[in-house]
């Protein structure tokens, strides 16, 4: 919650139960900091234009239509999309369709991609589909694909895999992820 006032503008609601009854607490930024020193109150996406680098090898990519973004094409070390701050890529997202995910699991390329993503730091893989549909991509091999995916997630826990349900929601999730990463740097996001 961001209040329209000059001081202590960030607050949060805490929904809990007290003595068996539902309770709602309102905490100011100061209260949160005193209760949990060193923790941060979550911020919204940075205001202004988000600079996104799209990998030159990305075909049929997201356009981020209707969003305040500046898109530039460049070769990325890993991932398909990157948040750019001061001409430096600070976070990346690898886009996968279900068919592409199944193919990269089958031929082993996903392991190498996850290794490169893990080296970058802030990263994620977002899948344009639902997890149950992974079992339908290659009949008879669905459980093997799921096992391989599980092994890779254990091997690279710093690379989250998000099943967004659709292309639209995958694009939205990536925009919010990259925006949060840019906002977390505390620096302007313009190119």
CATH number at residue 76: 3.40.50.10130
Residues 70 and 13 in one domain: no
Average pLDDT over residues 165-187: 90
> Do both 58 and 31 map to the same domain?
no
Which of the four pLDDT bands, split at 50, 70 and 90, describes residue 121? confident
Which pLDDT belongs to residue 160?
Answer: 97
CA 188 to CA 131: how far, in whole Å? 36
Classified as helix, coil or strand, 40 is: coil
Residue 48 φ/ψ region, left for φ over 0, alpha for ψ in the -120 to 50 degree band, beta for the rest: left
pLDDT at position 190, please? 46
Tell me what the mean pLDDT of segment 148-164 comes to: 96
Average predicted confidence (pLDDT) for the chain: 85
In-domain check, residue 191: no
**Helices 142-155 and 98-107: angle between axes, nearest 10 degrees:** 80
- Which of 42, 60, 75 is a domain's end point? 42
| Predicted TM-score of the model (pTM) | 0.74
Give yes or no for residue 154 having a pLDDT over 60.
yes
Retrieve residue 64's tokens. 């981020």
- Domain presence at residue 190: no
User: Which segments of the chain are extended strands (E)?
Assistant: 11-18, 21-28, 50-55, 69-74, 81-85, 88-97, 123-128, 161-163
pLDDT score recorded for residue 25: 72
pLDDT tens digit sequence for 42-84: 455 556 899 999 999 999 899 999 899 999 999 999 999 999 9
Domain range for 37: 1-42
70 and 16 housed in the same domain: no
Percent of all residues in the chain with a pLDDT value above 70, rounded to a whole number:
82
At residue 159 the predicted structure's pLDDT band, cuts being 50, 70 and 90, is: very high
126 falls within a domain: yes
Within 10 angstroms of residue 83's Cβ, the number of other Cβ atoms is 29
Category of 8 on φ-ψ map: left (φ > 0), alpha (ψ -120 to 50) or beta: left
């Amino acid at each position: 919650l961001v209040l329209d006032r000059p001081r202590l503008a960030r607050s949060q609601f805490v929904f809990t139960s007290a003595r068996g009854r539902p309770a709602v607490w309102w905490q100011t930024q100061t209260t949160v900091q005193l209760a949990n020193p060193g923790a941060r109150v979550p911020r919204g996406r940075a205001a202004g234009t988000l600079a996104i680098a799209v990998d030159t090898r990305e075909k049929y990519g997201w356009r981020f239509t209707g969003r305040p973004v500046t898109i530039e094409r460049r070769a990325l070390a890993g991932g398909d999309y990157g948040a750019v701050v001061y001409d430096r890529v600070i976070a990346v997202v690898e886009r996968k369709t279900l068919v592409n995910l199944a193919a990269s699991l089958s031929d082993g390329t996903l392991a190498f991609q996850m290794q490169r993503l893990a080296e970058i730091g802030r990263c994620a893989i977002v899948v344009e589909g639902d997890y149950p549909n992974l079992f339908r991509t290659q009949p008879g091999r669905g459980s093997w694909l799921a096992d391989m995916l599980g092994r890779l997630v254990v091997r690279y826990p710093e690379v989250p895999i998000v099943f967004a349900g659709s292309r639209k929601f995958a694009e939205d999730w990536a925009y919010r992820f990259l925006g949060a990463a840019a906002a977390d740097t505390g620096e302007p996001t313009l190119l």
